A and B are shown apart, each in its own frame.
Chain A
Amino acid sequence: AQSVTQLDSQVPVFEEAPVELRCNYSSSVSVYLFWYVQYPNQGLQLLLKYLSGSTLVESINGFEAEFNKSQTSFHLRKPSVHISDTAEYFCAVARSNYQLIWGAGTKLIIKP
């Protein structure tokens, strides 16, 4: 069975510092991988996705994630965070065409 592990429930980081949010998955088949962001009191928004091709994918607001098949990881990174990045970030893997399997989420806390 597929599963997604986000080891860190919270990641505090100073503003303008780099950050990495970790995501590991288990799957014996090809997967599609996603990062979603949930701002306070809002729904989830798709941040970026890996479907195929280049293993490094980027979002429009400076985040990037790298698919590493040998380590079964899809960590999310940003070189310099802003206070507006405060949110909860969820990693997900597509189990089938539609059924997403979710990690427990990581709260990104930006310290001024």
Chain B
Amino acid sequence: NAGVMQNPRHLVRRRGQEARLRCSPMKGHSHVYWYRQLPEEGLKFMVYLQKENIIDESGMPKERFSAEFPKEGPSILRIQQVVRGDSAAYFCASSPGTEKTYEQYFGPGTRLTVT
């Protein structure tokens, strides 16, 4: 029973490039959450998605960041024109349904480094 999968595990981008982070939820889970962890800080909520729907994106920066969870395939967190301040670990989590959505299962994270 595979857990939440994220790839790549490490991603290096130059300033101005695009970063695409992928998340495959646990089997049977239809809810996905993205969090960002800056060095020496806790996780910060970014966005909550269900299949083909963005439920809450209140934690997403207004510009350059977008997220999707298509009907088929993984959830994608996209960062356009990356800057040094985007360097962080990005974690994806999933939960099975609308009940107990606080019981989230996390992936190993993608560590983004912007040079």
Contact = CB atoms under 8 A, between A and B. Distances in A.
Instruction: Report if A and B associate in a common complex.
Output: yes
Interface in B63-115: 91, 93, 95, 98, 101-109
Contact of B56 (A90, A92, A99): A99
Given A100-B43, A102-B42, A104-B40, A45 B103 contact: no
Given A90-B43, A102-B43, A45 B101 contact: no
Given A43-B91, A43-B109, A44-B91, A94 B102 contact: yes
Most B Cβ at <10 Å: residue of A46, A92, A101, A102: A102
Contacts of A30: none
Given A102-B44, A103-B42, A104-B42, A49 B103 contact: yes
Contact of B95 (A43, A92, A98, A99): A98
Interface string B36-74: 000011111100100000001000000000000000000
Most B Cβ at <10 Å: residue of A9, A100, A101: A100
B45 A99 contact: yes
B44 A46 contact: no
Interface of B: 3-4, 6, 31, 33, 35, 40-45, 48, 56, 91, 93, 95, 98, 101-109
Nearest first, the 9 closest Cβ-Cβ pairs linking A and B are A102-B42, A98-B101, A94-B102, A43-B108, A44-B106, A43-B106, A102-B43, A104-B42, A97-B101
Interface of A: 4, 6, 9, 32, 34, 36, 41-46, 49, 90, 92, 94, 97-105
